[in-house]
Amino acid sequence: MAMTSAVYASAAADANDLKTDMDKVSYTLGTQIARQIAASLKAEDIEVNIDMFVRGIREALTGKQSPLSPEERDWVMKVWQEQHSAKLKARQEEAARLRQKQKEEAMAKLGKENEWKLKLTKPELMKFDASKDYFWILETNKGTIRIKLMPDVAPMHVTSTIILTNKGFYDGTTFHRVLADFVAQGGDPLGTGEGGPGYQYAGEISPNVKHDRPFLLSMANAGPNTDGSQFFITFKPTPWLDGRHTIFGEVVEGQDTVKKLEAAAGPPPLGKPTEELKILKARIEEKAKG
């Protein structure tokens, strides 16, 4: 979205202009609506002349007759819609070509010998020994992270993680997305954020387990019923993730290693790390409680 203006660029609101409650309410409503409009224009990549745009809104609100005839308005908008649709289509096609190229490059990097990681079937739910604790050990190129799993909270998530780990699924994978003050995300054999084990399953959301502290292990997803192999470790409390992502473990050793991952955080929104962050070996450890 692009907006140009010679009139409104320096026209900032002055508190002295807001003399009455009606002034304040009107101004607040106007800014709220304007932000929604601006977000819509940006999402659709629509360019406008802000002076004419604001004038059109003002005249429509006051009931002033348009200087354009209905026929002229229809013709102008028809031409614009055709041009805008063509631009969006070209952009979407280019984005699709880029995604396909990235997928081909990721598949080549994965190698034929590892394509099995994309073609697995959902495992049967494990029976867990209540007298044992289960730990997920991630040996990374930045150090070792020891995570206590939560089979009592998310049995399917722990089952899948244990089965995949014992197959060697996570060995050689990377943390492909790292955002400072947020998370380190990994578990994609393609390393692009679009890969998974070949199966998906539902979240196991517990209202009593919340993203209220750092160093939690939670499952990434693309919406309901899309949990797979991609996980993330939090760097801070992330309460906005509650109800959307399943917590199934917590880092109990190696917090310093997690901080090293965060030190390589990339710029948002993709968060591509500034250096490779690799899981060299993942393993499961069972230990008697107490």
Catalytic residue chosen out of the listed positions 157, 176, 177, 211 = 177
Burial of 156 from C-beta contacts in 10 A (0-12 / 13-18 / 19+): buried
121-153: burial string, b at 16+ Cβ within 10 Å, e else = eebeeeebeeeebbbbbbbbebeebbbbbbbeb
Q: Give the contacts of 151 (CB within 8 A, at least 6 positions apart).
A: 126, 128, 134, 158, 159
Residue in the structure block whose two tokens are 């500034």: 274
Whether residue 176 lies in the annotated active site: no
The answer to whether the CB of 241 falls within 8 A of the CB of 218 is: yes
Distance CA 138, CA 179 (A): 19
H-run or E-run covering 286: strand 279-288
Q: From the candidates 185, 190, 217, 277, which is the catalytic residue? A: 185
Which is catalytic among the residues 138, 179, 241, 277? 241
Catalytic status, residue 241: yes
Residue position matching structure tokens 């393993």 = 283
Q: Of residues 232, 235, 248, 261, which has the active-site annotation?
A: 232
Beta bridge partners of 9: none
Tokens coding 143: 């150090």
Active-site residue, from 182, 231, 235, 248: 182
Q: Which of 157, 169, 217, 221 is catalytic?
A: 221
Asked about 135 being catalytic, the answer comes back as no
Q: Is 245 a catalytic residue?
A: yes
Instruction: Answer for the pair 195, 188: CB distance below 8 angstroms, yes or no.
Output: yes
Which of 157, 176, 211, 245 is labelled catalytic?
245
Task: Enumerate the active-site residues.
Answer: 177, 182, 185, 221, 232, 241, 245
